[in-house]
Amino acid sequence: MTAPTAPHRPNPGRAGPTRAALRAELTKALTLRSLWIGAGVILALNVYFAQMNVSLLADLAQTLEDGRFVAYDGTVASFETAVRDSILSSPYQSAALFVPLLIAVVCGQEYRTGQIRTTAAAVPNRWRLATVQIIVSVVLGVVVTILAFVMSDVVLLLALPAEGRDVVLSAAGMLVGAKVLTYSAVMSVVAGVLTTVLRSTMPALVAIVAVLVLALSGVLLPLSPLVHGLLPMIAAKTFLFGYAPDATDPSVAAGLVILLGWLTAGAATWFGALRYREIG
Amino acid sequence: MIEISRLTKRYSTKVAVADVTFTAPPGAVTGLIGPNGSGKSTTIRALLGLTRPTHGTATVDGCQYGDLGPYPLRRVGALLDNAAPVPERRGVDHLRWIAQTNGISRRRVDEVLEQVDLTGAARSRVKQYSLGMKQRLGIAAALLGDPDVLVLDEPMNGLDPEGIRWIRELLRRRTAEGATVLVSSHFMTELESVAERVVVLARGQVRAEGTITEVAGGFESLEAAYFHHTTVSV
Ligand SMILES: Nc1ncnc2c1ncn2[C@@H]1O[C@H](COP(=O)(O)OP(=O)(O)OP(=O)(O)O)[C@@H](O)[C@H]1O
Ligand SMILES: [Mg+2]
């Protein structure tokens, strides 16, 4: 080992402590190899799904009469709706499942090897720590979703017939983008808080998938449509697609309120878990 | 100055630390010794604000860790038990994020890497590090803020003889400059050569405390005193 250097006074820097902690938290995430691999896989899957939608839409465009077609369940729907749903479908899948899984991996790094102790000793103010962790989770989730959304739009723009392209670029097309970002922010907080409370990635992954299975299978529906509607994926469905696919689904406004409820409850629990539970 | 005062930590099934009181004065290395499970790491975790004491206090310069201000690493550097770096991250990045939390410059990261002789391995992932290299990385993290108080939980574990000599010299130099050092260790001979004071814990209680001469007085060595104090029930 080398001889010591002269005693060093660390550069105090001009960043306030919260900015300093935020920067550190971002560095922690961005220097994690699994983040890059995970984000890469999500974006690749997303392009694949968008590509599949394109071929479905292309087939659909062949059967159009007056811009409308007969859906598999016999109802008549407009081509515009089909395109709008396609814009959403792959980012929606990312936001519902893949982004939360990614956030659980990133937040779980703290608990894999006891890094949380180093973190807590470096940032002893637990409110500050929770704040920066929540911000970074939301930013990561939203950025990955934006990339997914833009990439799937690009695929659609390149491959769709002209009438489809107009829908992609319309205000309605952009609005669904904003909505899916809201949804991914909520899901990022939900995934992060689950990981923080359970102090491990694996159980959090299981919990996320379990909630998704509950939502998709609809097992709660016969027991209580209300509880079923409170699941974030169900609340998000109407909110995102702008119409209620099932009669029991909450309205658009109710969906938004439920999502914001999850966001608030998730953040509050995150604060509570770091502030009141012992790190040990 | 580190002051542990009537510190008690009770877990649901057991008492890890019971009514422990001792001080680690500035300008000296204080050794914390005791068998596995005697409460050394628990005491250190309480000092760092990671564990909430059931009773009593643990302070640095009269402050609880949480009251040291937003940049505590500039005052206290710690090597903690059970707080390993994430294996998939590169060594330099591990130090970078820790430095950033406390507004410590990037240049300082390179300096401490140089000090612990990890400059060449800085860009390798931690999973490729040997036991001793991981230990050096942890010590580098403790040195980042150039703190006047060092709290090191078993810093010699895994170090090669050269590394042990280096840390001995580091601790001597820092205490000569007035630093306060609390070191837990199982290496009696090593501790005897570097520590001025020693605290012997057994079953969560202080069995002996004082200068090495006081604690080892009447025994062949610190090791003999250790066995006496930790096996004979007091
Ligand atoms: N989170 C916990 N829950 C329950 N018991 C705990 C917890 N942490 C520590 N203990 C118990 O407290 C006692 C003291 O543990 P501690 O880690 O402080 O010992 P130590 O002196 O550092 O031992 P070692 O030399 O092995 O590092 C042990 O019996 C341990 O089992
Ligand atoms: Mg220990």
Probe site for chain A from B50, B65, B101, B169 (most A CB atoms < 10 A):
B101
Q: What is the pLDDT of residue A9?
A: 47
Q: Which residues contact A154 (CB under 8 A, 6 or more apart)?
A: none
Q: What is the CA radius of gyration of chain A?
A: 22
- Percent of the residues in chain B that have a pLDDT greater than 70, as a whole number: 99
**pLDDT tens digits, B124-179:** 999 999 999 999 999 999 999 999 999 999 999 999 999 999 999 999 999 999 99
Provide DSSP, B37-99: TSSHHHHHHHHTTSS--SEEEEEETTB-GGGS-S-GGGTEEEE-TT-PPPTTSBHHHHHHHHH
Query: Residue A3 — very low, low, confident or very high, per pLDDT cuts 50/70/90?
Result: very low
Q: What is the CA radius of gyration of chain B?
A: 17
The CA distance from B13 to the nearest CA of chain A, in Å, is: 15
Ligand 1 site residues (CB inside 6 A) read A 280; B 11, 14, 16, 34, 36-42, 81
| ipTM here | 0.95
Mean per-residue pLDDT of chain B: 95
Tokens in use for A7? 């005693």
Query: Do B50 and A33 count as a contact with CB atoms less than 8 A apart?
Result: no
Lowest mean pLDDT among A26-40, A48-62, A135-149, B134-148: A48-62
Q: Whose CA is nearest to atom 8 of ligand 1?
A: B42
> Which ligand number lies closest to the CA of residue B81?
2
A·B CB contacts under 8 A: 136
Burial class for B139, CB neighbours closer than 10 Å (0-12, 13-18, 19+): buried
Q: How far is CA A233 from CA A172, A210, A270, B36, B128, in A?
A: 21, 12, 21, 49, 41
Q: A31 and B90 in contact (C-beta within 8 Å)? A: yes
Q: The domain B2-83+149-231 belongs to what CATH superfamily?
A: P-loop containing nucleotide triphosphate hydrolases (3.40.50.300)
Q: Where are the domains of chain B?
A: 2-83+149-231
**pLDDT tens digits, B81-132:** 999 999 999 999 999 999 999 999 999 999 999 999 999 999 999 999 999 9
Q: A89 and A53 in contact (C-beta within 8 Å)? A: yes
Q: What is the pLDDT of residue A244?
A: 67
Tokens in use for B204? 């969560």
**Residues from chain B contacting residue A122 (CB–CB below 8 Å):** 72-73, 98, 101-102
How far is the centre of ligand 1, averaged over its atoms, from the C-alpha of A243 (Å)?
Answer: 57
Mean per-residue pLDDT of chain A: 87
CA B127, B128, B130, B135 torsion-angle sign: negative
**pLDDT tens digits, A173-222:** 788 888 889 999 999 999 999 999 999 999 999 999 999 999 989 899 89
**Residues from chain B contacting residue A116 (CB–CB below 8 Å):** 83
